[in-house]
Amino acid sequence: MSIFDFFRKDKGSQPKEEVQGLEKTKESFFGKLSKAIAGRSTIDASFLDELEEILVSSDVGIDTTIRIINRVEARVKKDKYINSNELHLLLRDEITLLLTENKKTPEVSFNLAGMPKPYVLMVVGVNGVGKTTTIGKLANQFKTHGKKVLLAAGDTFRAGAVDQLEIWSKRVGCDFYSNGMNTDPSAVAFDSVKKAKEEGYDIVILDTAGRLHNKINLMNELTKIRRVMTKVLDYAPNDVMLVLDASTGQNAFEQARQFTAATEVSSLALTKLDGTAKGGVVLGISDQFKIPVRYIGVGEGINDIKIFNPSEFVNTLFEV
């Protein structure tokens, strides 16, 4: 089943632009690949050079590109590649394997099946990547699946951050916790997790500051937030999710590098995949940092966030 079919099944009748949320990446990647493969009966150095250029231009990244090419060469040597159809299958399989190898945390469904209660999701990322919007979209999905959701305003320094999250809580129809602006983020974390535990919430989603100007301060703040939450729930947080803007390409790699140095990131959410032809960043960041992609944003609508399925994502890239 392709990701397009998955969207139709999940949301019913949809406007065309929502169903085709990954079309720009698909057209760029698949179009270039098909052109490179056309008429070839063997994989040679010339083709591998073209493949490298295609992957790099899709923002897969140099290290991951080299890894993919090495895997292709190994498979060709083993399986004796014959034609272009087999090459498509070979590349699809190797890229899917690359994505599925990075599984550190349990899969989470929107109904939170098998997860502890309350489930604590701590969200990190720089300002402007769609972090608060992603939180709002996730809250809507969990609420739609019948879960009691609490949004906690831990980004207490950026002007408007608290108000923006509160607006999302009202839009979704879920509860909101804040200590106001310019307050201690760790206190917000402690109080919100305590509230979630005592009042029977299924999930608390904690927003955090997106400053990167001083990595030491960022590291100290995120470490403190994690530490105080364990005083309420020894397993908290269940997930530290880094939100990245897929359209920023190599900047997303640098942000991932900074945040993985500052805290133990356990999953990724990639936003704005509908607006970029460089969706290869999904492959590169997941591979380079060995962190699974959990959610992808494929549009501006409140429902345009999906649990990431590696097979469906890769199948879409290779879909005729």
Residue 42 has pLDDT above 90, yes or no: no
- The helix/strand/coil state of 206 is strand
Whole-number pLDDT of residue 263: 87
In a domain, residue 312? The reply is no
E strand or H helix that includes residue 307: strand 305-307
Beta bridge partners of 252: none
31 lies in which domain range?
Answer: 12-100
Do residues 215 and 128 both lie within one domain?
Answer: yes
Residue 155 lies in a domain: yes
Residue 232: CATH number of its domain: 3.40.50.300
Residue 110 inside a domain? The answer is: no
* Domain annotation covers residue 6: no
Do 176 and 76 fall within a single domain? Answer: no
CB of 237 closer than 8 Å to CB of 226:
yes
Residues 205 and 153 in one domain: yes
| Residue 86, domain member (yes or no) | yes
Pick 274 or 301 by higher pLDDT: 301
Q: In this structure, what DSSP letter does residue 119 have?
A: E
Helix (H), strand (E) at residue 290: none
Q: What is the pLDDT of residue 215?
A: 67
Same domain (yes/no): 234, 147: yes
> 3-35: per-residue pLDDT in tens?
333 333 343 333 333 334 677 777 777 678 777
Stated as kind and residue range, the H or E segment containing 31 is helix 23-37
Q: In this predicted structure, what is the pLDDT of residue 6?
A: 34
Q: Which of 265, 296, 311 is the last residue of a domain?
A: 265
Residue 121 banded pLDDT, cuts 50, 70, 90 = very high
Rounded to whole angstroms, the Cα distance separating 251 from 53 reads 19
Q: What is the pLDDT of residues 138-193, one digit of tens each?
A: 999 999 999 999 999 999 988 899 999 999 999 999 999 999 999 999 999 999 99
- Dihedral in degrees, nearest 10, Cα atoms 120, 125, 128, 132: 0
